[in-house]
Structure 1
Amino acid sequence: MEWIMYIRRGKGPVSVMLPNGSRLTRSDLPPVNTDRWVARRKAIVVAAVDNGLMDAEEVQEMYGISQEELDAWREAMARHGASALRVTSLQKYRQP
């Protein structure tokens, strides 16, 4: 008997091209059980959403983050870059 193995493919593209010319794939994303959200991990998640690798709802469900938190990350990244995602920079970049 011959066994055939299928790989389950998730929805969405396998990879996306980032503005800097590099590729982002789902394997580049932080682990699902991430507890410590450093700026680098937040930036990868924001890049995945902003470049169409994943949609916001999928990210929220996958990582258990709120819409408001993801929106704050996306806004900080858009306005000030990845450095604004550092916890120590929140006060500096947050608008009153």
Structure 2
Amino acid sequence: MFVRKSSRPRTVKIDDGNILSVADLPDADTRWVASRKQTVVLAVSHGLISREDALKRYRLSDDEFSSWCRASAAHGKVALTVTALQKHRQPRNDTAADISSE
């Protein structure tokens, strides 16, 4: 068995004292649920994987991942459910829509 060398740690200790490892990361073609989103956010924030690697591996847009990070920081894992993300999403400034409705 060949183990690839990496400059990144293989495990990190997260804020609640638990250990997060590369093996804990969801598969690239995962069905997104709040706990898997939280795992990726924690992995990036603690340096287990880079943000760029996460975006590429999971085919996420920068805006989508940023919204996960903001929601997680402000409201915890519960905010990463689809309905909660919609509830806590920053309102967009749709001035064009407001002008066209006049």
TM-score for both structures, normalised by structure 1: 0.87
| Superposition RMSD in Å | 1.3
Moved more, 20-29 or 84-93: 84-93
Give the unaligned 5+ runs of structure 1. Answer: none
Name the counterpart of 1:66. 61
Can you list the C-alpha shifts for 1:21-76, whole angstroms capped at 9, x where unaligned?
11000000001121x21101000000001111111000011111111111110010
Name the counterpart of 2:5. 9
Name the counterpart of 2:95. none
Name the counterpart of 2:51. 56
- Alpha-carbon distance in structure 2 between the residues aligned to 1:93 and 1:78: 12
- Alpha-carbon distance in structure 2 between the residues aligned to 1:29 and 1:9: 18
State the percentage of identical aligned residues: 45
- Alpha-carbon distance in structure 2 between the residues aligned to 1:9 and 1:59: 19
Could you tell me which amino acid in structure 1 is paired with residue 85 of structure 2? L
- SS of the equivalent of 2:87 reads helix
- Shift >6 Å, 4+ stretches: none
Which of the pair has more CA radius of gyration?
A: 2
Give the unaligned 5+ runs of structure 2. Answer: 92-102
- SS of the equivalent of 1:24 reads strand
Aligned length: 91
TM-score for both structures, normalised by structure 2: 0.82
Q: How does 1:1-96 map to 2 (within 5 A)?
A: 5-34=1-30, 36-96=31-91
- Alpha-carbon distance in structure 2 between the residues aligned to 1:29 and 1:11: 18
